[in-house]
Each structure stands twice: as structure tokens, then as C-alpha cells.
């Protein structure tokens, strides 16, 4: 099968930084126009916050989510304005899946901005601060991490209600776990005992993509149901199943499930390459996904758009691109 096809991938939380897209905005008015559209939906000046900070406020999940969505959509609009090649598929990591939905024509941008702000707010409110935790496990087979999580939940009968589970299958040898803080700590120790190179607590405020997020999903479900979704103009590989969907109602359901389900990024990238994708363009700030994708499949050509120079180089690198 030819591997010359192009996919766009969209980053999730962790890729935000104060000043992102500043240089693109100097050259392309569509960047500030996109942020103005988001600011109107949110009721505050998102561009000012993204450019001036403080970083602590930008890192609040109910701010981070609309900020990254807007940054990715603005970058996509620049790409279109420049006559860039149309990707044959899309995927996004966690929050980034919402960026993919907008750029694939599934959901209106303004609607998505409102939904992801609520998504962030509901996810934060689902578990009180200090109760949950997330940790990155480096250098251990997925199956051994999964076993450690199961063992950690069984370790102390007095904490039988504690949960910990794999939540981000990011790349071979990099798996994020999450759940109740005590259970995460036990799983980290078991992973180290099993030979993990590192087990690192992550500076996040809630155990995302675990069963503890079910209340957030239930709250967001009614808002998603009342929002218009369309069939995709470009197929999107979904985090939960690593498959594409065409039915708008099924996409609504999977975006609710995504909140409390693991992000199967390795499987998503493998689904792209199995469909003949040979190049991924990371659409938005940072190069996190480019790094992960290269570790998942060394044969992948990974390009980024996180600066004007990077965007120009990516446009030049793709033969169907415009100027």
C-alpha cells in the first residue's frame, strides 16, 4: 500500500504556552480573527491571555482547552489560506480530537469552543483537588503497567474503592496512568519494581480519562446532544476505538465516552499508517505529537506548524501545497 498520504494531527493539553502563535498572527490576520471569534463565545479576551499570561491561568484546564482548540483551528485556517494540501485523515490527542472535529467539518467552531470550556470545567469539578493524580511510566511494557494497576487496586482492602488505570497510550514505553492519588502511588512503586526506567507524577489537577471522569461526561452529554454535528468531510480516527465514524450521532456518543476512556494514541497512529498515511502534520503549538509519532513508527515523516518558519517549511515539503 502506498504510504504517501497525508494526515493532520492536533495536540492536547500540555502543548500550551504563553506567546503561542504570536509570530503567525503578525503575518496572518486570520489568527487574531479566529481568537476574536473564540473570545466572543467565551466572554473574555482569549488572545490577550494567550499572549500575556500568566502561565498559571493558561494552565487552568477550562482555559487551556479552548485556548489550544482555538490555536489549532487558527493554524488550520492559515494552512487553508496558503493553499496547503488537504489531508486524507485526521486525529487529535484527547482535547485535540475536538480540534480535529472542527477542522473536519463535524462541529461548528463557536459551538466547540463553548463545549470544550465546559469539558474542562466539568472535568476539573468531577474530582476535588488532591484526590486524584496522574503519572507517566517510562520504559515498561504496556502489559506490565496494566498488571501493576490491577495489583495496586487489589493491594489494600481498606482502599477497595480506589482506582488506577492506564489512560494515555502515548508511544511504546510511555504510558500514563491515573486515578486516586494513593492508588497511583502504589502503581508507580509496582512499575518501578517491574523494571520501569522512570515513574513520574505529572503536574495536572485531575485524573483525566478514568472512570472518575464519568460525572463530567454525564454533564457534558446533554450539551453535546443539543449541539449540531455533521458527517465528517475528512475522516477522523477516534481516541476511544482508533477507528473512524461517519454517523454524527455515533460521533457525539464517542466524544462523551472519550472523557472517561483511555486515549489509545499508539493505536490511532497505527490506524493512520495502516490506511497508507506516510506524513503527519502537527497542526497547532508544540511538537509533542511529532515526537510521539516518530517513536510509534520511525518510517513516518513528521512535520510541524508551531512557528511561521515551521509552517513555511511544511508547506514547501508537501508537493501538493501552494506557495
Catalytic residues: 94, 209
Q: CA torsion sign, 283 to 227 to 233 to 245? A: positive
Give 84's DSSP letter: P
CA R_g for the chain: 19
Beta carbons of 64 and 204 less than 8 angstroms apart: no
Dist CA 164 CA 56 (whole Å)? 27
Nearest to 21 by CA among 60, 72, 63, 92: 72
Closest CA to 238 of 272, 198, 276, 277: 272
- Give CA–CA dist 81/103, Å, rounded: 13
Distances from the Cα of 95 to the Cα of 10, 12, 14, 30, 144, angstroms: 8, 5, 10, 22, 27
Contacts (Cβ under 8 Å, ≥6 apart) of 124: 60, 61, 62, 205, 206
Amino acid at each position: 500500500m502506498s504510504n504517501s498520504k497525508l494526515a493532520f494531527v492536533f495536540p492536547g493539553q500540555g502543548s500550551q504556552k504563553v506567546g503561542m502563535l504570536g509570530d503567525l498572527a503578525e503575518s496572518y490576520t486570520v489568527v487574531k480573527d479566529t481568537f476574536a471569534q473564540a473570545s466572543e463565545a467565551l466572554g473574555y479576551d482569549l488572545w490577550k491571555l494567550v499572549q500575556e499570561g500568566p502561565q498559571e491561568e493558561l494552565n487552568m484546564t477550562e482555559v487551556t482547552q479552548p485556548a489550544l482548540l482555538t490555536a489549532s483551528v487558527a493554524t488550520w485556517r492559515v494552512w487553508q489560506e496558503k493553499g496547503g494540501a488537504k489531508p486524507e485523515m485526521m486525529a487529535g490527542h484527547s482535547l485535540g480530537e475536538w480540534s480535529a472535529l472542527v477542522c473536519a467539518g463535524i462541529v461548528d467552531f463557536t459551538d466547540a469552543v463553548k463545549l470544550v470550556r465546559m469539558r474542562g470545567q466539568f472535568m476539573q469539578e468531577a474530582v476535588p483537588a488532591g484526590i486524584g493524580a496522574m503519572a507517566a511510566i517510562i520504559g515498561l511494557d504496556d502489559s506490565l503497567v496494566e498488571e501493576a494497576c490491577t495489583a495496586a487496586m487489589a493491594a489494600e482492602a481498606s482502599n477497595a474503592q480506589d482506582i488506577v488505570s492506564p489512560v494515555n497510550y502515548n508511544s511504546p514505553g510511555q504510558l500514563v496512568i491515573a486515578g486516586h492519588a494513593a492508588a497511583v502511588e502504589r502503581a508507580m512503586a509496582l512499575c518501578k519494581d517491574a523494571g520501569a526506567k522512570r515513574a513520574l507524577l505529572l503536574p495536572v489537577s485531575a485524573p483525566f480519562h478514568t472512570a472518575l471522569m464519568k460525572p463530567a461526561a454525564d454533564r457534558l452529554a446533554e450539551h453535546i446532544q443539543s449541539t449540531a454535528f455533521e458527517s465528517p468531510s475528512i475522516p477522523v480516527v477516534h481516541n476511544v476505538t482508533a477507528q473512524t465514524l461517519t454517523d454524527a450521532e455515533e460521533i457525539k456518543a464517542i466524544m462523551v465516552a472519550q472523557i472517561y476512556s483511555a486515549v489509545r494514541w499508539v493505536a490511532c497512529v497505527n490506524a493512520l499508517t495502516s490506511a497508507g498515511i506516510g506524513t503527519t502534520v502537527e497542526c497547532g503549538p508544540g511538537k509533542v505529537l511529532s515526537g510521539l509519532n516518530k517513536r510509534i513508527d520511525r518510517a513516518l515523516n513528521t512535520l510541524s506548524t508551531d512557528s511561521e518558519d515551521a509552517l513555511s517549511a511544511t508547506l514547501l515539503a508537501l508537493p501538493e501545497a501552494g506557495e
